[in-house]
Structure 1
Amino acid sequence: MHGPETRPTLIGRLADPACEQAWAEFVRLYHDVIYRVARARRLQHADAEDVTQEVFSIVARKVADFDPDSCGSFRGWLRKLARDTAIDRLRRPAVDVGSGDSAVRQKLSEIAADVATATLWDAEVKREQLRLACDRIRDQFSEGTWQSFWLTAIKQQSIAEVAQQLGRSEGSVRVARCRVMAKLKTEVRRDDRENSL
């Protein structure tokens, strides 16, 4: 899953620092993802914002050198930048750490941080992809159909509860949810096909 749209044309335009439109789009796509990953790493709001801005600054300096053949996917490259920046922010000398082999403890901490950050990143990218896809398809459905989907699939309310709340039959709530889910899956698959990086 590629998450927010990182088209090769957008990545290419980021190499031009004067291209405000590209940077505005890039920030819109990735700010919340990077910020939520930093917050999930237990950084305070201000530190998470600093990490986010630092990642954008690194991207500005290094995006011209990004090569998918050597760096892999853009999303993976960006995830590594975000992870490394958050870990650097978290690394502080531990005052109350007991004795033992600190080199082993440090390596285990780094491995655990890498795995946790990669998992968080993937979850946040998927969340952002879902949000963007929902925004794109929302107007294609009536309010009742959308609410049937939203309340059952996103808010996790029971079909019976939603049917009563909306004054609809349980069957119509199920059908509405399925219609929106089918369109949403199609939209996400389309994003995956369009994003080659």
Structure 2
Amino acid sequence: MGEPVMTDDATLVALAAGGSEHAFRTLYRAYARPVYWLAHGLVGNQADAEDVTQETFMAAWRKLPGLQLAGDSLLPWLVTVCRFQAANRVRRQQRERAHTTDAAQDSLPATVDVAQQVIDAEVAALIVAEVGRLTPTDREIFRLCAVEGYAYQAAADELGVAHGTVRNRLSRIRGRLRTVVTETEST
């Protein structure tokens, strides 16, 4: 008999903090993609983004026992951890680049656009905050379709709602997020 499906982040965090690998895997599956895309935006390449994503979840695993989840989602906290891991990686690579004479081994561009990294991180934080304001059903639709890549019908089946409900709500969610990003870019 398998473990029950759990979707409440606070419950999953408590179980993972107690050593449940199943709960931690569930959190990983739910948030690995958004963490990866944030990391990719911060470090600029696939290999480093994959490393930062893994470092983020390794740090999360270590820190879960003392974590008091603020809100319904673990994602805002993971975004913060990811930003620190990415910044550490960029600094470490800059130090290594400064100490090596072999430019062919450079894994970073000659200049790092810190301003763009800050903007990208701010936009990601705004999106995470906006997703946090969604209804629980809309958050699940966003997670399933936008984060995990479910098709509309698969998400509808998972949630027990109609295909049109998923399609219409996801369209509305994307519009809200697009507005947040557009407003940020115009300021």
Structure 2-normalised TM-score? 0.54
Whether contact under 8 Å (1:37, 1:121) holds in the other structure is no
**In terms of mean alpha carbon deviation, does 71-80 or 58-67 score higher?**
71-80
Question: Which 4+ runs in 1 deviate beyond 4 A?
Answer: 121-127, 138-141, 182-187
1: CA distance, partners of 2:169 / 2:72: 30
Displacement of 1:51 in angstroms is: 0.7
Counterpart in the other structure of 2:155: 136
Identity fraction in percent: 23
Counterpart in the other structure of 1:117: 121
Do residues 31 (structure 1) and 50 (structure 2) align?
no
2: CA distance, partners of 1:61 / 1:186: 37
2: CA distance, partners of 1:11 / 1:63: 7
| Deviation per residue, 1:137-159 (Å, 9 max, x gap) | 15855xxxx6xxxxxxxxxxxxx
Structure 1 residue ranges without an equivalent (≥5): 96-107, 147-177, 188-197
Whose RCO is larger (CA < 8 A, sep 6+)? 1
1:59-70 to 2 correspondences below 5 Å: 59-68=60-69
Do residues 76 (structure 1) and 76 (structure 2) align?
yes
Displacement of 1:13 in angstroms is: 0.9
Decide which structure has the larger Cα Rg and report it: 1
The correspondence for 2:18, drawn from 16, 19, 24, is: 16
Check 1:26–1:79 CA distance in 2 against 1; reply closer, same or farther (3 A cut): same
2: CA distance, partners of 1:129 / 1:29: 8
2: CA distance, partners of 1:87 / 1:57: 16
Check 1:47–1:186 CA distance in 2 against 1; reply closer, same or farther (3 A cut): closer
Whether contact under 8 Å (1:37, 1:124) holds in the other structure is no
Structure 1-normalised TM-score? 0.52
Displacement of 1:62 in angstroms is: 0.7
Displacement of 1:49 in angstroms is: 1.2
Whether contact under 8 Å (1:37, 1:120) holds in the other structure is yes
SS in 2 for 1:67: coil
SS in 2 for 1:41: helix
1: CA distance, partners of 2:32 / 2:21: 15
Do residues 53 (structure 1) and 54 (structure 2) align?
yes
Displacement of 1:185 in angstroms is: 7.9
| Paired residues, number | 134
2: CA distance, partners of 1:30 / 1:6: 13
- What one-letter code is carried by the residue in structure 1 that aligns with 2:63? K
2: CA distance, partners of 1:28 / 1:47: 19
- What one-letter code is carried by the residue in structure 1 that aligns with 2:60? V
**In terms of mean alpha carbon deviation, does 20-29 or 41-50 score higher?**
41-50
- What one-letter code is carried by the residue in structure 2 that aligns with 1:13? L
Structure 2 residue ranges without an equivalent (≥5): 1-6, 99-112, 132-141, 174-187
1: CA distance, partners of 2:119 / 2:59: 22
Whether contact under 8 Å (2:145, 2:155) holds in the other structure is no
Check 1:120–1:76 CA distance in 2 against 1; reply closer, same or farther (3 A cut): closer
